[in-house]
Amino acid sequence: MDYVLTADALTKQYGHFKALDKLTMRVPKGAVYGLVGKNGAGKTTLIRLVCGLQAPSSGSYAIYGRKDTDRDIAKSRRRMGAVVETPSVYLDLSATDNLKEQFRVLGLPSFEGIPELLRLVGLEDAGKKKVKNFSLGMRQRLGIAVALAGDPDFLVLDEPVNGLDPQGIIEIRELVLKLNRERQITVLISSHILDELSRLATHYGFIDQGRLVREISAKELEAACRKCTRLTVSSSAALVPVLDRLGLEYSVISDTEADIYGEINLTELALALAEQNCEIKSIQEHHESLESYYVNLIGGGHE
């Protein structure tokens, strides 16, 4: 498999604090790689290192096969675009003028590509409007347009939907999917909004306390997220001994709810519960979400 980004034992230390602790990861070419972790887990630190904004304390990473210590690493970075923390835009300039500034920084020969970039991010009708009058979602899309100015094939986005309203989140999601599917751009996207990330990612990396706890593809995650039957009854206390006697795997959700895993003989279960004067209120199929998978993996609270 071809990898756009690899990291090996990557460490970043500030005094006695390790923001990254021997992190190892692989971002496949063509993926939308979701970097999952709570605030402070090390997501932004990793992104800042990869973008060359900071140097690692130890370990290494490679972009398109070039290590961070190689003299020609800049050639690989020219194939990258990034929005780190907040969009790097000039508020007193228009969207068009912001892109012109970026084209100048990159040494591009003309401004021909600007109208197409504005169309791509849905800002074709706002090119002359000053950015200070943009909504947060519009600024985020302009930031992505700036990141795309050099025609990169690897895009890094740090919490791109943070603080956006539902419409802004949908717009960013559709844009990321469009860039990935139509332009074959590999995307590394960090987020702690797991429900949204699950609509985008083809691969996941779960980061906690500076370490990558697990890497998994969306297909592998789907297989790992077990389906279960959510049973609502008159009393969980009466339900539990029946489930134990029948040898079923379960987890109690509340005083009246439990999730049962595996195949269930509903007739046998209903008769056994009737003997205990326990009434079945409802039965629903459920499956584990990305959020619950993350919480079970990390073993703590979530954001």
Q: Where does the pLDDT of residue 302 fall: very low under 50, low under 70, confident under 90, or very high at 90 and above?
A: very low
Could you give the count of Cα atoms lying within 13 Å of 38 in the half-sphere of its Cβ?
12
Give the integer Cα–Cα distance in Å for 170 and 148.
19
159-207, pLDDT tens digit by residue?
A: 999 888 899 999 999 999 999 999 999 999 998 888 889 999 999 999 9
122 CB-near residues (< 8 Å, 6+ apart): 141, 171, 175
> Angle at the Cα of 6 (from 50 to 182), degrees rounded to 5?
80
Alpha-carbon distance of 66 to 96, in angstroms, equals: 33
DSSP class of residue 277 equals T
Residue 301, pLDDT score: 44
Structural domains in the chain, sorted by start: 3-216 (3.40.50.300), 226-287 (3.30.70.100)
Average pLDDT, stretch 18-23?
96
Structure-token pair, residue 132: 């200070």
Q: What is the rounded distance in angstroms from the CA atom of residue 217 to the CA atom of residue 235?
A: 39
Distance CA 31, CA 184 (A): 9
Q: What are the phi and psi torsion angles at 284 (to 5°)?
A: -135, 145
**Phi, psi torsion values for 209, nearest 5 degrees:** 50, 40
Determine the average pLDDT of the residues in 281-302: 77
Cα separation, 9 vs 28, whole angstroms: 18
* Cβ–Cβ under 8 Å, residues 51 and 204: no
pLDDT in tens, 36-68: 998 889 999 999 999 999 999 999 999 999 999
* pTM given for the model: 0.80
pLDDT in tens, 96-139: 999 999 999 999 989 999 999 999 999 999 878 999 999 999 99
Beta strands 186-191 and 32-36, pairing class: parallel
Q: Of the ranges 73-87, 207-221, 258-272, 285-299, which one carries the lowest mean pLDDT score?
A: 285-299
Q: Check: CB of residue 63 under 8 Å from CB of residue 76.
A: yes
What average pLDDT does the segment 3-29 reach? Answer: 96
State the pLDDT at residue 190. 94
Backbone angles phi, psi at 37, to 5 degrees: 180, 155
pLDDT of amino acid 274 = 94
Query: How does pLDDT run across 207-250, given as a tens digit for each residue?
Result: 999 999 999 999 988 877 777 889 999 999 999 999 999 999 88
- What pLDDT does 300 receive? 54
The number of angstroms, rounded, from the C-alpha of 54 to the middle of its chain's C-alpha atoms is 22
297, pLDDT greater than 70: yes
Kindly list the distances between the CA atom of residue 128 and the CA atoms of 89, 103, 125, 288, in Å, as whole numbers in the listed order: 14, 17, 8, 47
